[in-house]
Structure 1
Amino acid sequence: MVYAIKNGILTDSNNPVRQIRSKNTGGAFPTPPKIVVIHFTAGGSAASSANWFASKDNTNSSAHVVIDRDGTIIQCVNFGEVAWHAGKSTWRDIVGLNRHSIGIEIANWGALRGGANGWSNAAGQRIDNVVMAVHRNGNPDGSRTPIGWEAYPEAQFEATVALVRALRAVYPIAEIVGHDDIAPVRKSDPGPAFDMVRFRQRVLGGRDDDGPNTGVIRSPGGLNLRSGPGTNNAVVQLLADGTKVLPIGANGSWLEVTVLDAAGKPSKTGWVHGHYVDLD
């Protein structure tokens, strides 16, 4: 796949990807979008979600693209136009992310239902490709113990990486967030099965970069630095939004970091959840 964007249309090797256009748009972006929001569809195929966005019965939702489990991409809204994917949302000082972000829907069932025969989706179909995890904001069923989440196939993950890299070549994309970042009480997508730390590294970093391997804490309310990788470990310090850190290790979605002071000198070392770290 060789993705590029021409006049707001995604092309693969100079050929437009499949288009299932939705009329649910808010017109042209007021300013070029700087944020990408990742969602899961909580459904079956990408085509079924794209067809819903295009349906006359759907009057209030859309996304720019839907990405299927095999990596196939369907475009629903021109990248130069506002899509209705975020709903009521806040990120930093931005209220209402629709007018500031590009929405990517990934075909995935999200949280699954447990039973005697394993894990199944909302349609009662057995799902074997499962990640056992706890959502950092609490599971949709209110539990705080590991449950099954549908895993994201590597082909799907790589297609999403390639797409956002193509977007960055045209738009000033500086941040990648999940729907669960901008609407944490209402939403759980893309959920713990989506490796956001790895995704940000793949999209925002590059081997041609030269400089320190530092990161920045991105959490408006601050982020707990803990003594170990997990919320059951003691809080060492509350790190303010914008704190610079030096990653030195990893354990799943948790990063071991050294906190850098105002002069860039190392201070405390501990663990933070990687979802809240922007790696330079």
Structure 2
Amino acid sequence: MAFAISANQLRRDGKPVTSLPSPYTGGALPSPTRFLAMHFTYGASARSSAEWFQSKDNPGSSAHLVIDRDGSVIQCVRFDKVAWHAGKSTWRGLSGLNHHSIGIELANWGPLHLAGGEWKSHTGVTIAHPHIAKHKNGNPNGENCPIGWEPYPPVQFQVAAEIARLLVKTYGVEEIVGHDDISAGWKWDTGPAFDMAHFRSLVFGGRADNDGVGLTVDVAEGLNLRTGPGTTFPVLRLLPAGTLVEPIERDGRWLGVSVLNAQGQPSQTGWVHDHYLS
């Protein structure tokens, strides 16, 4: 499978993906586009969500893409147009992330509830093998204990990562965020079942799996690992030349990375400038 973008439309294996255009757009989206915002739909399928984005009963929500559990993709808004996916949102000193981000929705029920000893969606669909965890911002039901969440199928996750890599290359996306990052306290997507750190590493590390290394410190005197994306942030340590790191997020020319130990396992996180990596 191979994705490409032509005239702000997504193509797969040389053909346009299914298009169900939403009327709910907000003018031109600037390029470069700083952020990619990930969501779950709370719904049954990509098509049902895409059709909702077309519905007259919809109060005005939309997204650029919806990816189904089987990896099929529907485009609802062109990548050069604002989609209404973020709502009330703030990040990196910006408000109204609709005007600064591309939005991808993943077909997923999100939080589940126990009924008759089974974890079920809000519509009563049983999820046989849920992901059990507490949300980092607190569970939507207010309970302070692990609850069930629908897992994301590997094919859906991998397709989303492949498309995200293409969006980074085409539109200069610098950072990937969840709706629960930019609208903390009232949104819970993508939730704890979505491995955001791994997703970012797949996208910014340029790999489709966990094999191989990431990037290498390529400066003889070593490279400062900092607490944030800039020289004003304190130095955590000096990384010697040859140190392996795995990118997990980006802010301009600065990369948030996991420092890998001799066994290839993450040992520390921090920020480095990408000019000194190869």
What residue in structure 1 maps to residue 144 of structure 2?
144
TM-score normalized by the length of structure 1: 0.78
Aligned pair partner of 2:217 in 212, 237, 243? 212
Q: Is the 8 A contact 1:112 1:148 kept in 2?
A: yes
What residue in structure 2 maps to residue 232 of structure 1?
none
Q: Which residue identity lines up with residue 147 of structure 1 in the other structure?
A: I
Offset, 1:58: 1.6
Q: Which residue identity lines up with residue 95 of structure 2 in the other structure?
A: V
Alpha-carbon distance between aligned partners in 2 of 1:218 and 1:20, rounded to the nearest angstrom:
40
Q: Which residue identity lines up with residue 175 of structure 2 in the other structure?
A: E
Mapping 1:1-280, distance limit 5 Å: 1-206=1-206, 210-212=215-217, 247-248=259-260, 256-257=267-268
Alpha-carbon distance between aligned partners in 2 of 1:54 and 1:201, rounded to the nearest angstrom:
33
Alpha-carbon distance between aligned partners in 1 of 2:13 and 2:115, rounded to the nearest angstrom:
44
Q: Is the 8 A contact 2:31 2:172 kept in 1?
A: no
Over 3 Å counting, the alpha-carbon distance change for 1:205 and 1:120 in structure 2 is same
Structure 1: gaps (5+ residues): 223-240, 250-254, 262-279
What residue in structure 1 maps to residue 248 of structure 2?
none
Offset, 1:143: 1.6
CA RMSD of aligned residues (A): 3.0
Q: Which residue identity lines up with residue 100 of structure 1 in the other structure?
A: H
Q: Secondary structure at the match of 1:53?
A: helix
Percent identity of the aligned residues?
Answer: 48
What residue in structure 1 maps to residue 238 of structure 2?
none
Q: Secondary structure at the match of 2:39?
A: strand
Offset, 1:13: 1.5
Alpha-carbon distance between aligned partners in 2 of 1:260 and 1:161, rounded to the nearest angstrom:
22
Over 3 Å counting, the alpha-carbon distance change for 1:42 and 1:99 in structure 2 is same
TM-score normalized by the length of structure 2: 0.78
Over 3 Å counting, the alpha-carbon distance change for 1:104 and 1:258 in structure 2 is closer
Alpha-carbon distance between aligned partners in 1 of 2:204 and 2:255, rounded to the nearest angstrom:
19
Q: Deviations over 1:33-56 (max 9, x none)?
A: 121000000111000000000112
Over 3 Å counting, the alpha-carbon distance change for 1:201 and 1:57 in structure 2 is same
What residue in structure 1 maps to residue 237 of structure 2?
none
Offset, 1:145: 1.1
How many aligned positions are there? 240
Q: Which residue identity lines up with residue 13 of structure 1 in the other structure?
A: D
